[in-house]
Amino acid sequence: MKQSNTFSPGRRKLLIGGASAAVALGVFGAASWEQLTNYRASWIERVVRENLPNIDLDPASLQAFIKDMLASERMQRKEVKVTVFADRFVPWLPAHISKARNGLEGLERYVLTEYLIGSNFFRVPDPKRETIVYSGMALACRNPFTYASPSSKT
Task: State pLDDT tens for residues 2-30.
Answer: 555 565 667 777 777 777 777 666 656 65
Cα 57 from chain centroid (whole Å): 19
| Residue 85 belongs to some domain of the structure | yes
Higher-confidence position of 35 and 64? 64
Domain of 82? 37-138
Query: How much is the pLDDT for 3?
Result: 58
| Residue 27 belongs to some domain of the structure | no
Query: How much is the pLDDT for 16?
Result: 76
| Residue 82 belongs to some domain of the structure | yes
| Residue 62 belongs to some domain of the structure | yes
Average pLDDT, the chain: 79
Q: Is the pLDDT of residue 140 over 70?
A: no
Of the listed ranges 35-44, 51-60, 63-72, the least confidently predicted one is 35-44
Q: Is the pLDDT of residue 78 over 80?
A: yes
| Residue 123 belongs to some domain of the structure | yes
Q: Which residues pair with 57 in a beta bridge?
A: 132
| Residue 8 belongs to some domain of the structure | no
Position 150: which residue type?
P
Does the predicted model carry a pTM greater than 0.75?
no
* Number of other residues whose CB lies within 10 A of the CB of residue 80: 19
Q: Count structural domains, the chain.
A: 1
With the CA atoms of 86, 89, 93 and 98 taken in that order, what torsion angle do they form, in degrees rounded to the nearest 10? 30
pLDDT-derived band at 154, boundaries 50, 70, 90: very low
| Residue 77 belongs to some domain of the structure | yes
Question: Do the beta carbons of residue 45 and residue 69 sit within 8 Å?
Answer: no
| Residue 2 belongs to some domain of the structure | no
